[in-house]
Structure 1
């Protein structure tokens, strides 16, 4: 995800954390599972406008986690906090509740094949 030119120019000030992760399996035949976690993006000493981060973030969510926008019960789950450091700088934390499905199938001759299907599949 390319948030803004900030992430390329000042990568050392972009922190990517995973909070509250869970591994979900339905205990059905097969070993497919899902990761559920909160992605915490922290931009430190950010001097741009928050809109410059939120717009590309929403574009990414629309493609990769669209239920956060389409499901009215989940629309408020994208959260953020800002610590204003000065008139032209802030620490910005954005929290996204994400899921990643992993489909596991047995290979002929042993072993497993794992794939991450697109969100809409």
Structure 2
């Protein structure tokens, strides 16, 4: 399951609190299944990825916005679902400044399996390109480029 590694890499690059203490983050699969069709070894993973961050002391926005940006790039269909809820989360407040956060994301991965002369070729297929974009955001803008905090304490999205 390649999306778990991708999510981990993205959060390590995007969230300074996780980059500085990677041992405080765990990513795992809560439940999953595999869907197949008769006559083919190709399949689809379908699973709930759980992201657990312990002792998070920054603004929760600094974690949730990069998760949303990762979903926009790696599971964009979650933005098109009727309920407009791409993930769920729980938080345990440890004190006035820290919390433990668990985020659950329902993910899928398509895997093509082809017979080749030397055996089987397994290919993880990319997500389809979604043609609709966010209003006011130019096509190709990488929303996950980073977050900065100004002196007033508000969070601003920086694009590349």
Question: What is the TM-score of this pair, normalised by structure 1?
Answer: 0.91
Q: Which residue of the partner structure matches residue 16 of structure 1?
A: 27
2:94 partner SS = strand
- Contact 2:86–2:105 (Cα < 8 Å) also in 1: yes
Structure 1 residue 117: Cα displacement: 1.1
The structure in which a higher percent of residues are strand is 1
1:59 partner SS = helix
CA distance in 1, matches of 2:102, 2:35: 26
Aligned residues: 118
Among residues 62, 73, 78, which one is paired with 2:72 in the alignment?
A: 62
Q: Which structure's relative contact order is higher, taking Cα pairs within 8 Å and 6+ residues apart? A: 1
Structure 1 residue 77: Cα displacement: 4.7
CA distance in 2, matches of 1:26, 1:66: 24
- Contact 2:27–2:52 (Cα < 8 Å) also in 1: yes
Q: Which residues in structure 2 correspond to 1:36-75 (within 5 Å)?
A: 36-73=46-83, 75=84
Where structure 2 has 5 or more consecutive residues not aligned to the other structure, the ranges are 1-6, 130-160
Among residues 103, 114, 121, which one is paired with 2:122 in the alignment?
A: 114
- Deviation above 2 Å: which 4+ runs of structure 1? none
Structure 1 residue 6: Cα displacement: 2.1
- RMSD over aligned CA atoms reads 1.4
2:105 maps to 1:96: yes
1:100 partner SS = strand
